[in-house]
Structure 1
Amino acid sequence: MTKFLPLISQLGTRHGSRSFRTCEYKCANQCDHPEPNTSGNEHIQSVMRSAFSRRKVLAIGAAGVGAAGVATLAVNSPAIADQTGRGAGSGSGTFPGFPQRGELTHGVVPPNREDNIVVPRGYEQAVIIGWGDPVLPGAPAFDAFKQSAEAQARQFGYNNDYTMVVPLRDDSKALLVCNHEYTDETLMFPAGKYSAAEIVKIGMAAHGMSVVQIERVGRSGQWRRDKRLSRYNRRITVNTKFEVTGPAAADPRVGKVAYGTFGNCAGGVTPWGTILSGEENFNGYFDVTGTVPAEYVDSFKRYGVPTTVTKTARLWSSVDPRFDLSKTPTEAFRAGWVVEVDPYDPTSTPKKRTMLARLKHEGATTTFTADGRIAVYTGDDERGEYVYKFVSAGKYDPDNRKANFGLLDEGTLYVAKFTGDGAADGLYDGTGQWIPLTSDKKSYIDGMSVADVLINARAAADKVGATRMDRPEDIERNPLTGRVYAAMTNNSNRGGTFPVDEANPLAKSHVRDTLDGPLVEKSGNRNGYILELSEEGDDAGKTGFVWTLFLVCGDPAAQETYFGGFDKSKVSPISCPDNVAFDGSGNLWISTDGNVLGSNDGIFTVPVAGPNRGQVKQFLSVPFAAEACGPLVSDDDKTAFVAVQHPGETDDATFEKPTSTWPHTDKFPRPAIACVWRRDGARVGS
């Protein structure tokens, strides 16, 4: 039985389902500040502009884990891509040899504002683990009125974002790994119960990551928390010791040791079974009580890090001087990295991999090059920032897991430049180039050392004329076709501060304030895009690519939307794509964050090939005011996982008067991870 909204109004939303409070806690209100990128580089919208004035189509819209003692996952096998995906041109709806199977037959969940996870008929859903559940031995049962930092450091953290499930030898068990991106103390704590210092310390402990053993329920697609608290279980917090690796570790601004990880958004899994987690909006955690060194000011400004007296909403500096840049200015250089964690070894020291660059990482997804090296894609999630790729120097060794542990420390870092073709072909498409910024041994940027490029990757990308994008988020390579899909969530300033171009064409788009309200035209790209890239020979090791806009998101009734050429009368409205994933048939799964069409966020499916290419269908919706994180489809396609983040995070909500109580175990909301499965035991989606 679904539950509807409490009788408290939704107030203060600033971008669809996202509230002012979400913006403050999640990204320090970055949309309220001038864009850090003042380079003047061409924006993706500019790439599209010339075609935008002439074209009508878009305006009218007719994992192999080869680990000793570890089970095996299928992860973006280049062998599969070689057999099924090579040679297809940009914008094509067919792929030579692509298996036309796994048709998406699930029912469509309509737009709604229910305070629950809503799934299609014939499906079930259940919570696996949520905020405060025990993770480590000695963790007390969760009690919102008896919280402590010590307890929280042994319990599941808050606001679970990126989620990955990796196998164990016993196929009835697995390890769930997730990020805890940020906290909302107004929803977490009863008023007057805790001191300011206690709230800060508990909030700090609720950040980081969790590793939790889960178990299958019978032979179904349902999974649940293993209450026996496995030896693999682990909590990583802002105080966990990290080893810093790669060329920037030798630089005094960074050093070889760092403590903690926070602001972790999306991530990825490596072929050797480790988890990558991207530190995203780290700038919102630092205060300034005095002055910062003059030599750091330009770098700080480029990343939105404060340079003048500032007190953030978190006040972490009140209990830890690391977060006062007047006292510890170099601490800002120890954040913004991709971290690597080995879920199979809870005693291992997690790593910060500096060759993957210092950015506001939305994620870090891996694949193979044709010759067996590792490529990692990542987006820098802010308006006007760039898309990056790293290619390792060494090759993956499937027979020696530990031999792969240093692959992410040596190789070449690239940034993307997009060019529109300007042809009157009815498509927004063109070519592109991965421009090298640095290898581990040589910088390609005049006046910048290897460490300079990695620490200030934004400045390096500015210098080579990379293309500014609309909040580049998750980037994934389809393991069956070899094509790469990148989510561009939105940019309300597109057409203003950011001119349109062929890759970012919208100066105006349509939104809906309420579920049944009219479509209203507003400036900018409000609903986002999905870009499709085809690299040379579908080889992730190549530097050239062709691209097309696969989806221009929004309500299908809006003239600017486009769904891969599919009939717009037969698709679900979709707004603000955030993360992407693939099922075993190569279908794309998309989660959304900040829906501006009057309904809750959710997870959507869409074929990328065949006659139904572009047919977006809503698979589930998440509770009121929540963000849908993930998605993740299990290797056997029996389970879809979704991380429900910040349910009920509206500006009028408090612990005592919440606007969501999901998952309805308490009188207040608790972010949690859930699974969805078919009652008949068949594959999800199809």
Structure 2
Amino acid sequence: MEDSNRSSNPSIHEVSLPSRRTVLRGGLGGLLAPLAAGAAPQPAAGPAPAGTGPLLGFRSVAVSTEDRVTVPQGYVAQALAAWGEPVGLPGRLPPFRPDASNTAAEQEAQLGMHHDGMHFFALEGGRGGLLAMNHEYTDDGLLHPDGFRTWNAEKVRKSQAAHGVSVIEVRQQPDGGWQVVRPSRWARRITARTPMAFGGPAAGHALLRTAADPAGLRPLGTLNNCGSGRTPWGTYLTCEENFAFYFRGPDRPGGHEARWGIGPTGGWFRWHEHDERFDARRHPNEPNRFGWVVEIDPFDPASTPVKRTALGRAAHEGATVAVTRDGRAVVYSGEDARFEYLYKFVSRDRIRPGGRRGNAGLLDHGTLYAARFGADGSGRWLPLVHGQGPLTAANGFADQGEVLVKTRQASDRLGATRMDRPEWIAVAADGWVYCTLTNNSARGSVGQPPADAANPRAGNAMGHILRWQEAGDFDGLRFRWNHFVLAGDPANPRAEARGNVRGDAFACPDGLWADARGVLWIQTDMSAAVMGRGEFARLGHNAMLAADPRTGEVRRFLVGPPGCEVTGATMAPDGRTMFVNIQHPGENPSERGGTGRSTWPDHRPGGRPRSATVVIRRLDGGLIGT
């Protein structure tokens, strides 16, 4: 896990004790009390399934260590759209070869590896839609017949083709099941080699120019696509996360390179050996062209994806959109790295009529903020605006473009709060904004803040979910915050790992999504290196849980196969079909290859495990979660 923040800014643990004491002393009743008077701001409008009653109506599933996906009684889970299946490009439908002998050219027409963030875009007619999904990274031990052996340019190109984004058309069948439509006029693959554009204040900046793109306007490809978002005007936001792992950096990195984790130990994917673009010694600006939120039109396969630089450069984990009362877009995003920051972008202009085309440049103009959390439960949004406060040329920020390319350094200067891997963000119907903080095992290590009275969970192995409510509206500059839940195992003998979960225990929250009924869906990402061991021994495999924000109750809804991460939740508009991604089933602790401990979803003897989308329905056709 990338860890490069050496600033002296206070961490979330150094300011969280008063709130945490309230949680542990007063219980969830006090925790759930409103923090701000008056009407809460409302999130972006969405389809609300009909029905009333309790939010959680299903019976919890048990902890599992089986090689399957477990869902509650009365539900069915169907594996759909696995890595290597054709996306449905007309005239290009190469089947998956179980021995992984598909070529790079074939992989460019197939679903990528390691499905992650995902959203459903309904089509007219009501029985189908488009799924836009991310493919975070590759396990080259699975991607090629002989893994890293005989490493060559073809393997690099296949690895690059297995990254990025897929857009597939899915349709519900008369029996209730779903299938991928092949061929489809909407089908699309976007990879690490797809031509793109820069938009916003940093477009054309000197720090984005390379020999291959001297104007700094035409980046090539997207990679390490993790969390995602959906705009009210119907586009998909994909987020470039841990891009530093793809670059070999200099033996003695400068301050900018070091702050972004670019150094001699990079090049984890070995792309630089056959694609010099990923050798930062030769092309020092190429890493600056990654770490952005990319906007994609899923309904136009010929459209050019745009990296929206106004949203800042970071190890982005998700981009959740809300709407102010006067119709402006607000985009929340976390940064999945130890001791990094939480961000908010507020558009300058209101959302216009005309859907996707009418709002093509809306995210290119506005203000980016970083969050500072106060020990008294208050918070402030700090504007990352050139010329304000310390963000001046004298401090290394020549213009707004440089502020955005160096978003981390700018946040350091402003004194934003260092967080424990802030990942997915969800905006609930009552205006509360929730954020998962997966963990931070570096807490208390050499050179990092130790455990003390202000940081009672040494190491923070279990993670937590934090929430806040903006003052007035989503564009407010102040907010009130508390902890929604501290993850952990209530039966754990080590007090720091118990947490205060009311209901089914879990650890390492990652994916997060609020549905139209108000259910908060929590997805976990315990590392394969710790799963089933030590203080994680009773937690089984990674899971998806449903929480009722009104009561704090948490119920386990789904458990995945061995080694997997559960991620990427979305629903059809009627609330009766849920789509969830199972990423890297069978993952080894090395995270880089081998068939591992799973053969899901094919269960072919000796076969390769494959990431896939799971479609979940109630057998009686009812609303998911009731």
Q: TM-score range by the shorter chain?
A: 0.7 to 0.9
Shift of 1:315: 1.1
Counterpart in the other structure of 2:391: 445
Letter in 1 for 2:402: D
Counterpart in the other structure of 1:298: 255
Q: How does 1:394-405 map to 2 (within 5 A)?
A: 394-405=349-360
Matches of 2:381 and 2:420, distance apart in 1: 18
Task: Work out whether residues 339 and 351 of structure 1, in 8 Å CA contact, stay in contact via their aligned partners in 2.
Answer: yes
Shift of 1:524: 1.3
Matches of 2:509 and 2:12, distance apart in 1: 17
Task: Work out whether residues 279 and 337 of structure 1, in 8 Å CA contact, stay in contact via their aligned partners in 2.
Answer: yes
Aligned with 1:283 (options 201, 222, 244): 244
Letter in 2 for 1:303: W
Aligned with 1:458 (options 386, 408, 421): 408
Counterpart in the other structure of 1:584: 516
Shift of 1:640: 1.8
Matches of 2:93 and 2:403, distance apart in 1: 42
Matches of 1:37 and 1:656, distance apart in 2: 33
Task: Work out whether residues 36 and 480 of structure 2, in 8 Å CA contact, stay in contact via their aligned partners in 1.
Answer: no
Closer/same/farther in 2, CA of residues 555 and 370 from structure 1, 3 Å limit = same
Counterpart in the other structure of 1:487: 436
Counterpart in the other structure of 2:197: 243
Q: How does 1:636-675 map to 2 (within 5 A)?
A: 636-651=574-589, 658-666=596-604, 667-675=607-615
Closer/same/farther in 2, CA of residues 500 and 607 from structure 1, 3 Å limit = farther
Q: How does 1:10-29 map to 2 (within 5 A)?
A: 29=1
Shift of 1:144: 3.7
Shift of 1:589: 0.4
Matches of 1:352 and 1:113, distance apart in 2: 40
Shift of 1:624: 0.4
Aligned with 2:55 (options 81, 96, 103): 103
Shift of 1:95: 8.2
The answer to whether residue 85 in structure 2 is matched with residue 133 in structure 1 is yes
> After superposition, what is the alpha-carbon deviation per residue over 1:377-421, rounded to whole angstroms, capped at 9, x for unaligned?
000111100100000000012345422111100000000000022
Secondary structure at the aligned position of 2:196 is classed as strand
> After superposition, what is the alpha-carbon deviation per residue over 1:586-634, rounded to whole angstroms, capped at 9, x for unaligned?
110011111652310011000111xxx1111010011100000112233
Closer/same/farther in 2, CA of residues 237 and 466 from structure 1, 3 Å limit = same
Counterpart in the other structure of 1:467: 417
Secondary structure at the aligned position of 2:420 is classed as coil
Secondary structure at the aligned position of 1:249 is classed as coil
Letter in 1 for 2:416: A
Percent of residue pairs bearing the same amino acid type: 39
Shift of 1:548: 0.8
Task: Work out whether residues 491 and 526 of structure 1, in 8 Å CA contact, stay in contact via their aligned partners in 2.
Answer: yes
Q: How does 1:245-324 map to 2 (within 5 A)?
A: 245-254=199-208, 255-288=216-249, 297-306=254-263, 308=264, 310=265, 312-324=267-279
Aligned with 2:468 (options 517, 525, 533): 533
Shift of 1:89: 2.5
Matches of 2:591 and 2:306, distance apart in 1: 37
Task: Work out whether residues 44 and 505 of structure 1, in 8 Å CA contact, stay in contact via their aligned partners in 2.
Answer: no
Secondary structure at the aligned position of 2:16 is classed as helix
Shift of 1:444: 6.9
Aligned with 2:383 (options 412, 429, 436): 436
Counterpart in the other structure of 1:37: 5
Counterpart in the other structure of 2:16: 48
Matches of 1:376 and 1:443, distance apart in 2: 23
Secondary structure at the aligned position of 2:339 is classed as coil
Shift of 1:495: 4.2
Structure 1: gaps (5+ residues): 1-28, 63-86, 422-429, 509-522
Closer/same/farther in 2, CA of residues 215 and 486 from structure 1, 3 Å limit = same
Secondary structure at the aligned position of 2:338 is classed as coil
Aligned with 2:159 (options 189, 198, 203): 203
Counterpart in the other structure of 1:676: 616
Aligned with 1:229 (options 164, 178, 183): 183
Shift of 1:505: 6.0
Letter in 1 for 2:136: E
Secondary structure at the aligned position of 1:463 is classed as helix
Counterpart in the other structure of 1:634: 572
Q: How does 1:313-352 map to 2 (within 5 A)?
A: 313-352=268-307
Counterpart in the other structure of 1:143: 97
Matches of 1:403 and 1:142, distance apart in 2: 39
Which range moved further: 348-357 or 549-558? 549-558
Closer/same/farther in 2, CA of residues 673 and 443 from structure 1, 3 Å limit = farther
Matches of 2:203 and 2:148, distance apart in 1: 42
Aligned with 1:621 (options 554, 559, 573): 559
Task: Work out whether residues 370 and 541 of structure 1, in 8 Å CA contact, stay in contact via their aligned partners in 2.
Answer: no
Closer/same/farther in 2, CA of residues 304 and 311 from structure 1, 3 Å limit = closer
Counterpart in the other structure of 1:5: none
Aligned with 2:545 (options 593, 604, 612): 604
Shift of 1:272: 0.9
Secondary structure at the aligned position of 2:316 is classed as coil
Matches of 1:341 and 1:555, distance apart in 2: 40
Secondary structure at the aligned position of 1:452 is classed as helix
Matches of 2:465 and 2:164, distance apart in 1: 29
The answer to whether residue 172 in structure 2 is matched with residue 216 in structure 1 is yes
Task: Work out whether residues 368 and 385 of structure 2, in 8 Å CA contact, stay in contact via their aligned partners in 1.
Answer: yes
Shift of 1:438: 1.8
Counterpart in the other structure of 2:309: 354
Matches of 1:505 and 1:626, distance apart in 2: 34
Counterpart in the other structure of 1:122: 74
Aligned residues: 585
Matches of 2:624 and 2:63, distance apart in 1: 20
Closer/same/farther in 2, CA of residues 320 and 192 from structure 1, 3 Å limit = closer
Shift of 1:506: 4.9
Matches of 1:356 and 1:192, distance apart in 2: 37
Secondary structure at the aligned position of 2:614 is classed as strand
Letter in 1 for 2:431: G
Structure 2: gaps (5+ residues): 43-47, 209-215
Matches of 2:454 and 2:62, distance apart in 1: 28
Shift of 1:239: 0.8
Counterpart in the other structure of 1:572: 504
Letter in 2 for 1:640: M
Higher relative contact order (CA 8 A, sep 6+): 1
Shift of 1:499: 3.6
Secondary structure at the aligned position of 2:553 is classed as coil
Matches of 1:554 and 1:192, distance apart in 2: 36
Secondary structure at the aligned position of 1:110 is classed as coil
The answer to whether residue 509 in structure 2 is matched with residue 553 in structure 1 is no
Task: Work out whether residues 197 and 218 of structure 2, in 8 Å CA contact, stay in contact via their aligned partners in 1.
Answer: yes
Letter in 1 for 2:624: V
Shift of 1:287: 1.6
Shift of 1:498: 4.5
Closer/same/farther in 2, CA of residues 400 and 314 from structure 1, 3 Å limit = closer
> After superposition, what is the alpha-carbon deviation per residue over 1:253-299, rounded to whole angstroms, capped at 9, x for unaligned?
211110000011001000111100110000000124x668x7xx211
Matches of 1:330 and 1:530, distance apart in 2: 35
Letter in 1 for 2:478: G
Letter in 2 for 1:90: L
Shift of 1:96: 12
Matches of 1:147 and 1:162, distance apart in 2: 25
The CA RMSD over aligned residues, in Å, is 2.8
Matches of 2:553 and 2:135, distance apart in 1: 32
The answer to whether residue 100 in structure 2 is matched with residue 162 in structure 1 is no
Closer/same/farther in 2, CA of residues 419 and 652 from structure 1, 3 Å limit = closer
Closer/same/farther in 2, CA of residues 192 and 622 from structure 1, 3 Å limit = closer
Closer/same/farther in 2, CA of residues 201 and 59 from structure 1, 3 Å limit = farther
Counterpart in the other structure of 1:427: none
Task: Work out whether residues 489 and 499 of structure 2, in 8 Å CA contact, stay in contact via their aligned partners in 1.
Answer: no
Closer/same/farther in 2, CA of residues 57 and 169 from structure 1, 3 Å limit = closer
